[in-house]
Chain A
Amino acid sequence: MRIISALCMRNIRLFLRNRVQLVLILIMPFFYLYLLSTIFKSTDISDPTNYVLSGIIIIVVFQTSLNIAASTIDDMVSGYMKEVLVSPAKRIQIVIGQILSSTIIATFQGILIMIVGCFIGLRYGSIFTPLAVIVSMIFVGLVFSAFGLFLATSVKNSQTFQITSVAVTTPITFLCGVYVPLSLLPNGLQYIAFLNPMTYAASFFRALSLEKLSLPLNELISDQLAFKAGNLIITPQISFFVILLFGILFLILSTVTFTRVDFSKMNRTQMSKDIYNQ
């Protein structure tokens, strides 16, 4: 427990030390909110501001958890991970420490945007909704932290990692219905969106956040909280189970990969991108 909490504290300290990043984190989502609200007004969605804001919160949680977990590759490339791995700390403790810290940071960012969002019209009908929203942020954070750690430990070369990271995160970000409504995507891209785990995370999170989990199916579809994948209608509840399965899969994969990877073969060429100084 001591090793896990030490790793968490270290990553959180690194995150908080970057003041410019903290300010940008708060500004950027509202820039997107302004931009996207205009796009989403052209759809049938009843409350576009809240709809977009809840999408932005979950995409920030996704990006942050993925990036912070993937910053493990910085520690590998800088050599610091070698110091960690030669210590009596077990690799599973390191995996848990890295995943938990990125989840905590991602959730913290999500909560910050949620709080500022309340000043510009984000409303919850029940006092339990914000708590449920925070719990689901933690859940999505854990899922994508595991995914990020898996990416970092699977790609041993830092240059390859940068390319892979962009190649993986760009479609996940733009083909999940947060920035561009799924109904506006061309047919081909819609099919790709169905393979995107973030589509399911965004769908569930939005329905929960907008307190519309119990809406009838036709209203869920018209509000783009449920969607059709062929003949199957994906409700937010089904989305939850899809993302749960995805999370369990990558939690296992990242743990197995991290405990088996030979860090002595890491390419130690310095990365130009610093995840904490973006």
Chain B
Amino acid sequence: MNNIITVKNFTKTYGTFKAVDNVSFEVESGSIFAFLGPNGAGKSTTINTLCTILDKTSGTLMIDGKEIGQNKDYIRSVIGVVFQEQTLDVKMTVEENLKMHCHFYRVAKSVINERIDFVLHLVDLTKWKKAMVNSLSGGMKRRVEIARSLLHLPKVLFLDEPTTGLDPQTRANIWDYIVKLQKEKGITIFLTTHYMDEAEISDKVAVMDYGKIIAFDHPAVLKKQYTRDKAMISSIVPEQLNDLLLQHDLTYAKENNRFIIEVNDLSKLTAIISEHQLSITDMEVRKGTLNDVFLEITGKNIRE
């Protein structure tokens, strides 16, 4: 597959502060790419530069084979953007917002109505077409923004923290729409988030901190590389469990009479569990997460 986004040695400074420090990465066409990191890591600066809102300090940023600095108009015509903050015209209706977008992107007048119906159907908002934007809920506004960003059929859709401030159910719905879009339309999706679970859907994750990319790969590969699965077991005969673990060369920590065992592969625990099952009073198994990846690399949680 070809790369639709190429970033080489990208640096962005504000005065003496380096918001993004010599970052390089590539995004495959038709994939979902996630930028993961805490607030202030440099994610939004990168996305804003790719969206032509900010100018780079140095480096090369290309979308669809075109350098961003010299081809702003072209780049703007092939990307769709959903910003972190709400950017709808709240004094107008959903349809009026979408029509304005079509005019800005010079969508042929003959297809505007058809295109609006199509994107509203995609995000299940057809019956809200005539509603004033300020009468919609936060989640619906976000869906209108996603619909709007698709009107000109972009090659890349940038989503900057698209679910910030939304309740868990709405967040899940938004991601359903995004995955549906990527699968049905083959659009490349470039998203930033500080929610671990949201990055799990992506084909590639770049973990960012203090303006640098500190890890870059498929979420499963990162988790395998940086994390271990964890089992927490309580037993009525702890001495017996202790002996069993030692027999299998497994080390553990104890916390409130619970054995906390970290393993690369949970199958190693299967024999112990089946042998000891009648004595187990409580058991919890947790797979490694992207937060663990971040914790492992930086020594801190991503929300800190």
Contacts and interface: CB of A to CB of B under 8 A. Distances in A.
A79 interface: yes
Interface stretch (A53-61, A81-89, A199-207): A81-89
Instruction: Name the residue in B48, B51, B54, B91 with the highest tally of chain A Cβ atoms < 10 Å from its Cβ.
Output: B91
B53 A88 contact: no
A276 interface: yes
A85 B106 CA distance: 14
A263 B148 CA distance: 21
A78 B90 contact: yes
Nearest to A17: B91
A10 interface: yes
Interface in B79-137: 79, 81, 83, 85-92, 96, 99-101, 103-106
B105 A86 contact: no
Contact of A6 (B53, B104, B148): B104
Interface string A239-278: 0000000000000000000000011100010000000100
Nearest to A82: B87
Given A79-B83, A264-B48, A86 B76 contact: yes
Contact of B53 (A75, A86, A90): A86
Nearest to B72: A88
Instruction: Name the residue in A2, A85, A86, A262 with the highest tally of chain B Cβ atoms < 10 Å from its Cβ.
Output: A86
Interface in B54-81: 54, 73, 76-77, 79, 81
Contacts of A10: 89, 92, 96, 100
Using C-beta atoms within 8 Å of the partner chain, give the interface range for chain A: 20 to 34
Instruction: Name the residue in A10, A13, A90, A268 with the highest tally of chain B Cβ atoms < 10 Å from its Cβ.
Output: A10
A85 B101 CA distance: 11
A207 to B, nearest CB: 39
A23 B73 CA distance: 43
Instruction: Name the residue in A13, A82, A262, A268 with the highest tally of chain B Cβ atoms < 10 Å from its Cβ.
Output: A82
B89 A87 contact: no
B52 interface: yes
B86 A79 contact: yes
Given A79-B87, A86-B52, A14 B92 contact: yes
Contacts of B53: 82, 85-86, 263-264
B83 A89 contact: no
Contacts of A78: 86-87, 89-90
Nearest to A85: B53
A87 B149 CA distance: 10
Nearest to B52: A86
Given A86-B81, A88-B76, A80 B104 contact: no
Interface string A127-140: 00000000000000
B146 to A, nearest CB: 13
B86 A89 contact: no
A210 B52 CA distance: 52
A78 B86 CA distance: 8
A3 interface: yes
B88 A88 contact: no
Contacts of B100: 6, 10
Nearest to B104: A87
Interface string A5-26: 0100010011001000000000
B106 A82 contact: no
A80 B54 CA distance: 17
A276 B91 contact: yes
A82 B77 contact: no
Nearest to A87: B104
A88 B85 contact: no
Nearest to A10: B100
A3 B53 CA distance: 19
A88 B77 contact: yes
A263 B91 CA distance: 21
B76 A80 contact: no
A2 B107 CA distance: 11
A13 B54 CA distance: 32
Contacts of A88: 73, 76-77, 104-106
Contact of B88 (A14, A17, A80, A86): A80
B103 A2 contact: yes
Interface of A: 2-3, 6, 10, 13-14, 17, 75, 78-80, 82-90, 262-264, 268, 276
Interface of B: 48, 51-54, 73, 76-77, 79, 81, 83, 85-92, 96, 99-101, 103-106, 148
The 10 closest A-B pairs by CB, nearest first: A87-B104, A6-B103, A79-B87, A83-B87, A88-B76, A88-B77, A80-B89, A89-B104, A79-B85, A82-B87
